[in-house]
Amino acid sequence: MTKLFLGAFLFLFPFVSINAQQLKNELMVDEFIQNQISQKNIAGAVVLVSHKGKSLMHSAYGYQDIEDNILMDTSSIFRIYSMTKPITSLATMLLVDRDSIELDDPIEMYIPELKNLMVLEKKRQVKSKGKITVRDLLRHTSGFAYGFGLGTSKVDKLYNQNHPLFVGNTNEMIQRLSKFPLQSNPGTKYNYSLSVDVLGCLIERVSGKSLSEFLKVNIFDPLGMSDTHFKLPKSKTGRFCSYYENNLKLKESYKSTDYLKERMQSGGGGLVSTSSNYLKFCKLLFNDGIFNNDTLISSDLIVEMKKNQLPEGEGVYKNNNEVLIGFGLGFMVNMKEWGNQGHQGDYGWNGIGSTHFYISPKDDLIVIIMSQKAPYSNKLVHGLKPIIFEGL
């Protein structure tokens, strides 16, 4: 559904009560995104705002594909990249809930190839102090790197020479990863990394299922996330967004995408999904493991996911050594009040294709913003947050 005029909106959704302030702020959202489109910063976007369990807005803007003149729709399918990570993290916590693993288990119990890893210190490799645990993978304190320009360490540069993700499956990834040193001792430093891809391998080995099968049976089917996939079904190709670089240069067409092919099922960045599907996942987090009155996972484990889990002094974002944003077991957590940019205890994450989710327990608010922009941009989420928060 493209952007609706007020009369049509009320006709189609009579159960939604729109007051003057809500309408004003929705129009401000419209204006902001239309400006981004007219400036050729983005091809299109979908914005979903849920407040107190009800949809305040779910609107589509611009184009899903410019070349074929396909308008964006609220059912459009996006590359969610690193917004895959919280889903894989939840799958890991399901294994904890079922006593299949424990958070402080060394991962070498399940992935022995990663035993006895070395740490690169200056120009030499030394034996690591401590072992990588499941918790370290969830909170990115494993010592692994990422490459791809997401890090600047010497280990990141080593990855880029023979990247662990440029393989056919998770076992091949582990074999390649085992040959690289760590960039820090396990459990000591936050460093955004391939940790969640390693979790994908752990899930496969512990469960005996492929990652896609485990997610489908244990998360996607129970939540009704029928449009979330590693491999896009051909029947859904027409709903898949093309991917654009700066100045709307086509990076990947929906018609010739690698997502139609068999690929490594990357637990760190391999999924495609819709705004509606991802809302269901967010509602499970918000309601501490309960969805449609069914408990999918113990509430105390979801509560742990939402707490900052980083070692003292470590953070995703710091200012003068003060930690402003921490990291839980799968996503970032606000440690301070940010005014109209958020509140203490808010949590969420982003995808490198410029997709975002944000949950504010204080405001009973879930915001999902989907676009198809490379390189990553936070213009939409930073521009829309104040509008949305002030509209409440």
13 pLDDT higher than 70: no
Report the alpha-carbon distance of residue 366 to residue 282 in Å, rounded: 7
Q: How far is CA 281 from CA 348, 358, 389, in A?
A: 12, 12, 21
**pLDDT of residue 22 exceeding 80:** no
380 and 44 Cβ atoms separated by less than 8 Å: no
Q: Which helix (H) or strand (E) holds 250?
A: strand 250-252
What pLDDT, on a 0 to 100 scale, did the predictor assign at position 392? 80
Mean of pLDDT values over 336-361: 96
Domain contains 336: no
Average pLDDT value for residue range 7-33: 61
Which token pair is 274?
């819709």
- In 80-233 the beta strands, taken as DSSP E runs, fall at 118-121, 124-127
- Asked if residue 392 belongs to a domain, the reply is no
Q: Give 7's strand partners.
A: none
Q: What is the dihedral of CA 97, 99, 103, 108, to 10 degrees?
A: -140
Q: What is the number of other CB atoms lying within 10 angstroms of the CB of residue 202?
A: 28
The range of the structural domain enclosing residue 132 comes to 77-230+265-300
Residue 346 has pLDDT above 60, yes or no: yes
Total tally of structural domains belonging to the chain? 1
In a domain, 354, yes or no: no
Percent of the chain with pLDDT over 90: 89
User: Tokens 């299922």 map to which residue?
Assistant: 209
Model confidence at 337, pLDDT cuts 50, 70, 90, reads: very high
Residue keyed to tokens 């129970």 = 222
- d(Cα 304, Cα 365) in Å, to the nearest integer? 20
- Cα 106 to its chain centre, rounded Å, is 25
Record the tokens describing residue 156, joined without a space: 């990141």
Q: Is the pLDDT of residue 286 over 50?
A: yes
Q: Percentage of the chain with pLDDT > 70?
A: 94
Nearest-angstrom CA–CA distance, 269 and 13: 34
Q: Would you say residue 18 lies in a domain?
A: no
Contact 318, 327 (CB under 8 A): no
Q: Does 212 fall in a domain?
A: yes
CA separation for the pair 243, 252 (Å, rounded): 5
Q: How far is residue 128's CA from residue 132's CA, in Å, rounded to a whole number?
A: 10
The rounded distance, in Å, linking the Cα atoms of 52 and 364 is 5
**pLDDT value at residue 16:** 38
Quick check: helix, strand or coil at residue 106?
A: strand
319 within some domain = no
CATH number, domain containing residue 226? 3.40.710.10
Sign of CA dihedral 66, 276, 271, 329: positive
Q: Does residue 7 carry a pLDDT above 90?
A: no
Q: Which residues pair with 118 in a beta bridge?
A: 127
Q: How many helices (H) and strands (E) does the chain have?
A: 12, 17
**Which of 11-15, 111-115, 142-146 has the lowest average pLDDT?**
11-15
Angle between helices 20-38 and 379-391 (to 10 degrees): 170
DSSP letters for 286-340: HTTTEETTEE-S-HHHHHHHTS--SPTT--SEEETTEEEEEE-SSSEEE-S--GG
User: Per the domain annotation, does 243 fall within a domain?
Assistant: no
The model's pTM: 0.94
The predicted-structure confidence for 35-73, as pLDDT tens digits, reads as follows 999 999 999 999 999 999 999 999 999 999 999 999 999
Query: Which residues make Cβ contacts (< 8 Å) with residue 374, sequence separation at least 6?
Result: 243, 244, 245, 251, 352, 353, 354
Q: Is residue 172 part of a domain?
A: yes
Distance CA 244, CA 123 (A): 39
Rounded average pLDDT over 134-163: 95
Instruction: Round the average pLDDT of the chain to a whole number and report it.
Output: 93
pLDDT, position 15: 34
**Residues in a beta bridge with 63:** 71
Report pLDDT for 6. 31
- Three-class secondary structure of residue 244 per DSSP: strand
The tokens for 275 are 């705004």
8 Å CB contact between 374 and 251: yes
What gap in Å lies between CA 55 and CA 52, rounded to an integer? 8
* pLDDT for res 19: 62
